[in-house]
């Protein structure tokens, strides 16, 4: 549409310069004099401009135009001759210099130049920095001091981190207080922690508390396919920040651009390294008195370039780790302020049951609970909604529509019962929280263990107990259905057990045969794959020894698990029957089974029965000759790390 308007304007302008007398025939001056002599001219108009022109009409009605070669006596003679012949003679006055006329004459050129300039500016700006020519423009998003609505009250579960960054707020509010004593505020603060712990939220809270502008950008926004783009964007970002000082620049996932230089196949001149070099120069080039503080976030501080972490750049690291039980309680209270909750909701109870959850996980937990309540048309979020939301996050979404044969259900029931019983019998194992044979996510059944508290390390006894519980499902299949009927359902259990046993031997120093020695090295080349950079630091004999030790650890765990289940076959059958009848059992029913009592039905099963659902009769106890249906893809039956 814009180009159509420009074309119409240009056509109109050029049409305005097309002389209206374009249809007039041009006569030679001598021919014009002959027509005057013969009396063929009826009217004539003489212009006073240089050179002079005479235009008019002949008696036959045709229009003519001629140029007078020289003004002077010859022209006067022609004029006198025309008067003698009765020709009507007029003279146009000279217009002289006209500014408007000059502008009109230059209007087409100015219009073309203006359109070209406008087009280039549009390409560079791109309506928000995304144009075709905006390669060197910073992609940082600016939030004004009035736009940042987050403050420290919205950040919970990381009190130590808030205290450490609190002085940044004081500096941004009153920098003179620090400068009087010669103190310098850290120019860069690196926030380190797992994903979802609130690093970005904490950076926003700093800007919100200090009431300063907030620039946010991702590390991947700097580098593109064009050479020099990243360095140019870094320069542009800091120039914008200086104009809005005091302010905060937040770079998320800085490991995308701040990795070790010289690592990988790109050499020392790849685009990422040029961007990093420019970032180092900018951070070391501007003075702290300018009030620009750079905050970056990463969960891989080990791969960052040492020059980036030296004093004067990112010289302070703030660890934003997973919250403990009190931190989880505070985070839950922050998120539950936004939803109506019932009187039975207890944040501390939920916090105790969610060890290892990050702030983002807890926010998702509250949101899922609100969705459960909305599906039931409830007015408030109850504790049952939060429990269901936790089960969905930990174990996956229920797939009740999945058709499973009775043989598959029975095999899954014994498999999960084997996990649960071994987990209850071995020492220092996490308590069994819930067992279900309802397909969840990609698993046909799930045995969920829930730690009683936060764990930061694990001892040898607990690791060996986990190995036993991982093999519990496979051993139960072998004991009940026979060796020939063992399925692929334990593939994920075997994979995790093997990895854990290998770590015991090669990393954790928990093998008596190998001793406290680390075998193998982590690769330093951060851009190449393991197959390219793996360094062989052990001999073939040592590798064979490691394989023997790993096999010995796993064989002991398998035999121990088999011994425990063989001695508790009655409990294995009882738990499998309860699972086939109720589909899901919790810790209370598991306690009844382990104590030799008849397990009662779960509360939600009673509700289903009241609504008209009739539970299936308990199946008979099976033996080794019971046929088993096809189990399916091993990946589809893995518990995704939930049953050990």
pTM: 0.67
Domain harbouring 172, CATH code: 3.40.50.300
Helix or strand or coil: residue 144? coil
* 452 catalytic residue (yes or no): no
d(C-alpha 496, C-alpha 209), whole Å? 46
384 shares its domain with 434: no
Boundaries of domain holding 572: 406-522+540-595
Task: Determine which one of 368, 416, 577, 583 is catalytic.
Answer: 416
Which of 552, 572, 595 finishes a domain? 595
Domain harbouring 490, CATH code: 1.20.58.760
At which residue do the structure tokens 């180092």 appear? 280
pLDDT of residue 620 exceeding 50: no
**Beta-bridge partners for 67:** 53
pLDDT of residue 71: 53
- Tens of pLDDT, residue by residue over 499-546, are 999 999 999 999 888 889 888 755 444 444 344 444 557 888 989 999
Domain harbouring 82, CATH code: 3.30.720.210
171 shares its domain with 231: yes
Length of the chain: 644
Domain harbouring 332, CATH code: 1.10.8.60
- Tens of pLDDT, residue by residue over 176-232, are 777 787 777 778 889 998 888 888 888 888 888 888 888 888 877 777 655 567 788
Domain annotation covers residue 628? no
d(C-alpha 163, C-alpha 181), whole Å? 21
CA separation, residue 229 to residues 71, 135, 137 (Å):
66, 6, 8
Element (H, E) at 55: strand 53-58
pLDDT of residue 627: 29
Domain annotation covers residue 102? no
255 shares its domain with 302: yes
pLDDT of residue 607 exceeding 50: no
Which of 395, 430, 451 finishes a domain? 395
CA 309 to chain centre: 24
Domain annotation covers residue 117? no
Q: Say which residue, 263 or 498, is predicted with more confidence.
A: 498
pLDDT of residue 145: 61
CA separation, residue 100 to residues 107, 109, 341, 458 (Å):
10, 15, 75, 89
189 shares its domain with 299: yes
Q: Say which residue, 313 or 555, is predicted with more confidence.
A: 555
Full strand arrangement of the beta sheet holding 446-449: 446-449, 432-436, 584-586
Domain annotation covers residue 333? yes
Query: Do 281 and 172 contact (CB within 8 A), yes or no?
Result: no
Mean predicted confidence (pLDDT) in 238-243? 85
450 shares its domain with 560: yes
Domain annotation covers residue 614? no
d(C-alpha 159, C-alpha 324), whole Å? 11
Q: Based on the structure, what is the number of domains in the chain? A: 4
Domain annotation covers residue 16? no
Helix or strand or coil: residue 297? strand
234 shares its domain with 342: no
- Tens of pLDDT, residue by residue over 344-399, are 899 998 998 888 899 999 999 999 999 999 999 999 999 999 988 998 888 888 78
**Average pLDDT of the chain, as a whole number:** 78
169 shares its domain with 222: yes
pLDDT of residue 147 exceeding 80: no
- Tens of pLDDT, residue by residue over 410-458, are 999 999 999 999 999 999 999 998 899 988 877 888 898 888 878 888 9
502 shares its domain with 374: no
Which of 395, 418, 440 finishes a domain? 395
Query: Do 36 and 27 contact (CB within 8 A), yes or no?
Result: no
Helix or strand or coil: residue 397? coil
């Amino acid at each position: 549409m814009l180009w159509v308007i420009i074309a119409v304007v240009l056509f109109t302008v050029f049409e305005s310069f097309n002389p209206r007398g374009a249809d007039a025939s041009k006569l030679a001056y001598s021919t014009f004099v002959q027509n005057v002599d013969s009396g063929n001219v009826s009217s004539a108009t003489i212009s006073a401009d240089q050179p002079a022109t005479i235009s008019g009409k002949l008696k036959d009605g045709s229009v003519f135009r001629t140029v007078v070669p020289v003004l002077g006596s010859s022209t006067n003679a022609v004029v006198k001759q025309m008067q003698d012949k009765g020709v009507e003679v007029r003279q146009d006055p000279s217009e002289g210099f006209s500014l408007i006329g000059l502008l009109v004459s230059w209007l087409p050129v100015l219009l073309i130049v203006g359109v070209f300039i406008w087009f280039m500016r549009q390409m560079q700006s791109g309506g928000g920095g995304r144009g075709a020519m905006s390669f060197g423009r910073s992609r940082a998003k600016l939030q004004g001091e009035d736009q940042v609505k987050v403050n420290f009250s919205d950040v919970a579960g990381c009190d130590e981190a808030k205290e450490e960054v609190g002085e940044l707020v004081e500096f941004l509010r009153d920098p003179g207080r620090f400068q009087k004593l010669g103190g310098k505020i850290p120019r860069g603060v690196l926030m380190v922690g797992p994903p979802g712990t609130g690093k970005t939220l904490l950076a926003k809270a700093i800007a919100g508390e200090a009431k300063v502008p907030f620039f946010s950008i991702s590390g991947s926004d700097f580098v593109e396919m064009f050479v020099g783009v990243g360095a140019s964007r870094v320069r542009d970002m800091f120039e914008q920040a200086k104009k809005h000082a005091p302010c905060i620049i937040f770079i998320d996932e800085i490991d995308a651009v701040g990795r070790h230089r010289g690592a990988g196949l790109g050499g020392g001149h790849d685009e990422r390294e040029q961007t990093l070099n420019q970032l180092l120069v900018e951070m070391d080039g501007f003075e702290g008195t300018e009030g620009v503080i750079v905050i970056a976030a990463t969960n891989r501080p080990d791969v960052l370039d040492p020059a980036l972490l030296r004093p004067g750049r990112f010289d302070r690291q703030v660890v934003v780790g997973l919250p403990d039980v009190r931190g989880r309680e505070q985070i839950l209270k922050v998120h539950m302020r936004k939803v109506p909750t019932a009187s039975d909701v207890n944040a501390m109870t939920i916090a105790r049951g969610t060890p290892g959850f990050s702030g983002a996980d807890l926010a998702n937990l509250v949101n899922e609970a609100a969705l459960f309540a909305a599906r039931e048309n409830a007015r408030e979020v109850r504790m049952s909604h939060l429990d269901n939301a936790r089960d969905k996050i930990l174990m996956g979404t229920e797939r009740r529509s999945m058709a499973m044969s009775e043989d598959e259900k029975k095999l899954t029931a014994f498999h999960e019962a084997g996990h649960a019983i071994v987990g209850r019998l071995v020492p220092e194992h996490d308590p069994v929280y819930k067992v279900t044979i309802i397909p969840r996510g990609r698993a046909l059944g799930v045995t969920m263990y829930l730690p009683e508290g936060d764990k930061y390390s694990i001892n040898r006894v607990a690791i060996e107990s986990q190995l036993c519980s991982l093999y519990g499902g496979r051993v139960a299949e072998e004991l009940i259905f026979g060796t020939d009927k063992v399925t692929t359902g334990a593939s994920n259990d075997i994979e995790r057990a093997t990895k854990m046993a290998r770590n015991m031997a090669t990393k954790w120093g928990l093998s008596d045969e190998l001793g406290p020695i680390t075998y193998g090295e982590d690769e330093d080349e951060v851009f190449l794959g393991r197959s390219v950079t793996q360094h062989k630091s052990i001999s073939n004999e040592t590798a064979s020894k490691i394989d023997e030790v790993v096999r010995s650890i796993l064989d002991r765990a398998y035999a121990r698990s088999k011994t425990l289940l063989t001695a508790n076959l009655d409990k294995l059958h009882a738990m499998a029957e309860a699972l086939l009848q109720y589909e899901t059992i919790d810790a209370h029913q598991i306690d009844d089974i382990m104590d030799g009592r008849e397990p009662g039905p779960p509360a939600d099963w009673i509700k289903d029965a009241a609504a008209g659902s009739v539970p299936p009769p308990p199946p008979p106890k099976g033996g080794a000759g019971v046929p088993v249906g096809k189990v399916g893809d091993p990946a589809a039956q893995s518990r995704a790390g939930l049953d050990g």
